[in-house]
Amino acid sequence: MHALVVTLLVIVSIGLIIVVLLQSGKSAGLSGAISGGAEQLFGKQKARGIDLILHRITVVLSVLFFLLAIGVTYFKI
């Protein structure tokens, strides 16, 4: 059981890295980081298309990653 959970954890980890790297950056530089955060909080634009899909996949994979990481410690023999 431990080997299965570790294998799934590695697959989810690689998938999470790939999905995060595929996402486009919101802004560049320090000034972009400050204004980008404010725009995200107060902006009216919603993510559409591939950005929305990648965001949802990232959320799902991150939740799976944490659950599998806890599972690895639980099923450790």
**Which residues have C-beta within 8 Å of that of residue 26, sequence separation ≥ 6?**
32, 36, 39, 40
Residue 58: DSSP 8-state: H
The whole-number pLDDT of residue 62 equals 96
Domain ranges of the chain: 2-74
The whole-number pLDDT of residue 63 equals 96
Over the range 23-32, which residues count as b (16 or more CB within 10 Å of their CB) and which as e?
Answer: eeeeeeeeee
The whole-number pLDDT of residue 76 equals 77
**Which residues have C-beta within 8 Å of that of residue 16, sequence separation ≥ 6?**
58, 61, 62, 65
The whole-number pLDDT of residue 51 equals 86
**Which residues have C-beta within 8 Å of that of residue 8, sequence separation ≥ 6?**
68
Provide the whole-model pTM: 0.70
> Which one has a higher pLDDT value, 57 or 1?
57
Each residue of 10-63: pLDDT tens digit?
999 999 999 999 987 766 555 555 555 555 555 555 567 888 899 999 999 999
